[in-house]
Structure 1
């Protein structure tokens, strides 16, 4: 009997166990199934689940450093273009295949064969070759120095490692995978579309094994339904930085005696403006929006104090971002004056400004499954109505939302930064290609070529002073051109049920605490 069959039998038997006998299964929920868990692809593959199954060469730490993981050590050439990684001995994939240099090269080869899929990531474009020196030694050579190499090797995707048996016959994972087989602490054992996914503990895992034997991820799309499922004991954990429940619900649960917490800020919630489309191609409109949003009210009344106000796109704690930018203060009067000066006037008896007979109306696109963003969008709508800007809210399911953001089919859209270990380098390098909202935010600016050149130069620079100067120019331009309206610095929230303990928060928003949680008894 294979592992999928065994896991299915175990799950079926668990349904008939008396209450309390299922303590070794941690019940969680997510808005959709975890997907095929292709480590080299995006889309339907949920990042937290990819991280459960697949591991990186190096692991990002909360202090900004990277630690040995599947690679136990490495050296870097003097010119910064050659990395030699010594792999951890004795590691195997969950199916028993050895994790070795050949497996590492095989995974890099399929990523490099599909460069277009990963054009947002500077690492992939920088790679010259990846070769096995011996069974446990890998050499990675870049075309030019690429300073974020180690940080990007720690990312959840696309450079994590699938067992050779998991590859399709063609060897190209862009066509799909045979099975999601990694070296991580969890193994995907069962998926039922629209209902749940089950992960079982990898009993041959090289590191510390989780306390729970399995994690059952139930598909619950609605945040209110998720909250009810938690209160009735159907799920044991609510966790995430993307609106798994509304902030007021989290506040209520945290005040009800459940073990709970809020992480340090991970990323910035921000609105992006398409500078190539009217009316957001008007600098005065973008500046007015920045001045008109009452961020403190959002922090107090929407987030219940679980977030912090964001005055710049990147918090000053992010590398290279502490450059003394002047925040756009909440000042509706100044916002109105900017619009008046730009010709967007409010006629007597009207509630919406116009210019040359065109109403000042903007579509704001937000992801439908995220309860938090919906609440923020409604406050933004009210704040901007107060200065004569009509905001039409459009809720889009994930596929539509991310598709429209990638294609530039928006005027104003939620476009959070990515947090560690992506910021600022990966978030900014993604602006160079049409795969993210940042590319379209820049599209209408005369300074776009200069900004693109500065981003590229910063990524290849080996001089800290030069790199800081390049980033200074880029961040200052984004800020002064008001291409984003930063609102809050996002944190993850977590609540565990009465039978669970050990809630922790990882170094990034993609590290979920399945390995640290324990049954209370």
Structure 2
């Protein structure tokens, strides 16, 4: 059983520690854990919900710079924005089907260029503004406006060419090209809608204080420490399959607990009700604890990856990229750092993603050394690193130290690369410096995970149109420009035929294996642990895995 303590005192203690920071549907479903109900709701479904409780969840140190949906691209973005905002479409977590939410229905033109949405009536933003066609249009226009500098959402709906307000409840959205993923990405938390009045009058406030239609409103965001919410009592438009009326919880708090051990121990000691991002070393023990419930899903989209900047030395040389990819024992690193709880990636989509194609990325040190020799890096300096024309083979990796396992992975890759003669310099700039360097392309290696409910992530991450420019922030971290990849992923996003799409994505994945623009490491797991005795109704969203608390309630606190 859990120890129960005075919550106000414990919360203050935690906060004051060091900063914690309509194609085939079935394959899109998350790979759910067999224990504790997988990603389904927590607790007993037969229990009568208790209203006016509070819930505190501890999350990791990846705090986004904004909590507005369109203005963040972080792993924890939807976790922080979803309590405040709703989406137009809902992806059913049990079936993977797209269902109405803030849109009551929609139709698609035969050419795939026009989507006509009929919107749900009776919905209001927490500032009293009405949800209608003009509000929907304002949100779409805001996302693609270059001034918004949307780091991800604008890329997700890049084909958006404008929209027409037909009447108060009907919006016709126009696309420049057919886009098979359009409806599915609209279901993600990154597309929660915000008040049109805030967009028009105070766009500078949206980043830190978005006003949405969601079941909660923001009380306070203390950066690096916590985000506090209170119930929106006027809320009565939850997604399909959820309860009627306002949220059960009166208050909801997300604590930023960067240190893995601190976060998990806070649950074990009863200091928080649940923890997100259960560290790999704690997953097995959590599953064996009868007082702990687990929600787990393999995140669809792109594996955790090291992207290699193909536009500058040393990774503008294909052989150097291929050498590093094949010369690193990815399976050994993943097993060592993540305690055998995560699958080693086999390509550029995770295994839970639609149109995933398993590929072979062999570990072969002999081949890696041969490739580096062929690339001209034949000499070694006194430290054992390869040189050419008197210059050491060095790659710079600016990154964050906020997540311990990523630091451990970096250090193990660094050690293995040294045996190949490659000097990987790990750097830890400030968050602002890291963001600036990422946008400007001032790196040799960039890393991350991109979760999305569509294989269109291949277009987002590898199409040359998504290389960041002064006008638009793109997601092509490897800055790859390859005509074949561009052709495959563009045709795949435009086709309306499921089998054609699958074949094109298979070609794209095979081509990426050849080009080696990145080192895919593991399929990400979203693991949430909670107190089974007191937490009920907590679940994971499907469109982008993140804790969903609208149906959640607590007993005994």
How high is the TM-score relative to the length of structure 1?
0.82
What's the CA shift string for 1:30-68, capped at 9, x where partnerless?
Answer: 437676643442379933211221111112345554221
Structure 1 residue 331 displacement after superposition? 2.2
Q: Which of 54, 65, 81 is equivalent to 1:25?
A: 54
Q: Which of 75, 78, 81 is equivalent to 1:47?
A: 78
What's the CA shift string for 1:222-248, capped at 9, x where partnerless?
Answer: 3343334334333222113xxxx6422
Structure 1 residue 80 displacement after superposition? 1.5
Q: Does 1:371 align with 2:404?
A: yes
Q: Which of 298, 303, 313 is equivalent to 1:264?
A: 298
Deviates more, 1:358-367 or 1:476-485: 358-367
Cα 1:347–1:127, aligned 2, differ >3 Å: closer, same or farther?
closer
Q: What corresponds to 2:425 in structure 1?
A: 392
Cα 1:462–1:475, aligned 2, differ >3 Å: closer, same or farther?
same
Q: In structure 2, how many angstroms separate the alpha carbons of the residues matched to 1:96 and 1:142?
A: 31
SS state at 2:446 partner: strand
Cα 1:294–1:304, aligned 2, differ >3 Å: closer, same or farther?
same
CA contact (8 A) 1:56 1:153 kept: yes
SS state at 2:451 partner: coil
Q: What corresponds to 2:170 in structure 1?
A: 137
Q: What corresponds to 2:116 in structure 1?
A: 84
Q: Which of 284, 291, 294 is equivalent to 2:329?
A: 294
Q: What corresponds to 1:416 in structure 2?
A: 449
Deviates more, 1:31-40 or 1:382-391: 31-40
Q: Does 1:360 align with 2:389?
A: no
Q: In structure 1, how many angstroms separate the alpha carbons of the residues matched to 2:383 and 2:218?
A: 58
Q: In structure 1, how many angstroms separate the alpha carbons of the residues matched to 2:419 and 2:66?
A: 46
Q: What corresponds to 1:7 in structure 2?
A: none
Q: Does 1:181 align with 2:211?
A: yes
Q: What corresponds to 2:318 in structure 1?
A: 283
Q: What corresponds to 1:212 in structure 2?
A: 249
Q: What corresponds to 1:163 in structure 2?
A: 195
Structure 1 residue 180 displacement after superposition? 2.7
Which 5+ residue runs of structure 1 have no aligned equivalent? Answer: 1-12
Q: In structure 2, how many angstroms separate the alpha carbons of the residues matched to 1:237 and 1:90?
A: 33
Q: In structure 2, how many angstroms separate the alpha carbons of the residues matched to 1:14 and 1:383?
A: 46
Q: What corresponds to 1:6 in structure 2?
A: none
What's the CA shift string for 1:417-472, capped at 9, x where partnerless?
Answer: 333246435534765233378635244x6xx3454354444433445566556544
Structure 1 residue 191 displacement after superposition? 3.0
SS state at 1:507 partner: coil
Q: Does 1:485 align with 2:515?
A: no
For these two proteins, the number of residue pairs brought into alignment is 494
CA contact (8 A) 1:115 1:124 kept: no
CA contact (8 A) 1:272 1:437 kept: no
SS state at 1:367 partner: coil
Which 5+ residue runs of structure 2 have no aligned equivalent? Answer: 1-5, 11-49
CA contact (8 A) 2:159 2:177 kept: yes
Q: In structure 1, how many angstroms separate the alpha carbons of the residues matched to 2:64 and 2:414?
A: 33
Q: What corresponds to 1:108 in structure 2?
A: 140
How high is the TM-score relative to the length of structure 2?
0.78
